[in-house]
Amino acid sequence: MLPEIGPAWIEVDLDAIAANVAAVRALLKPATRLLAVVKADAYGHGAVECARCCQDAGADGLAVSTLPEALELRAHAIDAPILVMTPLQPHEAATAVAAAITPTLVSADAANALQHAAALAGRRPAVHIKCDTGMGRYGVLPAGLAELLRAVAACDRLDLEGVFTHIASAFASDLAPARAQLARFVAAVEAAQAAAGVRVPMRHAAASAAVLTLPEAELEMVRVGNLLYGIRPCAHGRKVALKTAFRARAEAAQVKVLPPNHGVGYGSAFVTRRATRVATIPVGLADGLGMEPATRLLRLQPLLRAMLRRLLRRLGLERRLGLGAGAGGVAFDGHDAPVLGRMAMQQTTVDVTALPGVEQGSVADLFVRPTAASARLARMYLRDGVAVAARTLAGELDLRRAPAIAERA
């Protein structure tokens, strides 16, 4: 691997993301708009490349959590509509207008600040209003929705595009609370429209879980994140064929045999009982790994995890549940390598005694939650199994200098 990539990296399958966009689209009515959620660096997959992929695959727009996330997309020439779901603060108004961002409003003060910034810039931004119908986080309460609609309508430089809410329990087996919350939202919008004399062009309430479990929440638009990356947020609900897009990998930096009674890691939390072949890989807690060490008191845990993983793989459920390869921690060619001792900041030692083919440079699959994977790990983007782009902390990598990357992918 090139020095710019380093000994550990993330592979992101853009074909899988495009297929997932199509699979979600197939669940929706033809007129329903699909907002691809690329917040949190596209759930760890890389916001810029994933936003482009979703846009090319047919998403109608993008959604992020914060204004800086939206600005990152604009800095990379992504011109799709971008909804920032965290409420606009008045001091952010001029920046949002200049970047043609669609902000979320929850107060008249923010609306007035945006109106002033839009007038100065000679622009007319689209806006959405967030209504809190039960999540208890951002949003104006239903009782105040009509007043905020009037305040936005009074701002002649603002275009009200939509009103939205977030359903708190769409993933639960008991959907009665979710349906009740959806009913509160629909009723709140209807009442506010009538009281304020303002028409709301678009309502949206469904995120990934509700798309599967609560089809009636589709309304005029849905906001989908997890499903686009092949992650199913709940086991029940409508069936959809998803493809896993994320794979964390690392090369073994050293492989050696430790003698009996040799400590491993800080505090010698693990001590070998026999000659043990160990591999050290240059990733750890700082990179998003979070595995339990195989200390003498916890020797049963790695065994139970490995047995569960093999069962899920045999049933074809491992990837469908978003566990990915190496769900037991670290795996070489699909074979688990138990973690030994305490995991360090960027070092992890695993037992490869039963894996004679593992040598220095052998590539392991890692169990890392995508949202926890460190930004220090380079992202490699694949099409048809071949790397077409790579991004590191230093920026985009010229793959013409890296033909070996495609071979490793």
Type of residue found at 313: R
Write down the catalytic residue from 29, 43, 130, 266: 266
Q: 238: closest CA among 273, 204, 213?
A: 213
Distance in angstroms (rounded) separating the CA atoms of residues 282 and 7: 7
Write down the catalytic residue from 29, 39, 138, 243: 39
Is 39 annotated as catalytic? yes
Is 29 annotated as catalytic? no
Type of residue found at 371: T
CA atoms within 13 A on the CB side of 334: 6
Distance in angstroms (rounded) separating the CA atoms of residues 199 and 152: 12
The single residue listed with the structure tokens 């495609």 is 406
Backbone φ, ψ for residue 30 (5° rounding)? -55, -35
Distance in angstroms (rounded) separating the CA atoms of residues 80 and 308: 43
Inter-residue contact 328 to 367 (CB < 8 Å): yes
Catalogue the active-site residues: 39, 266
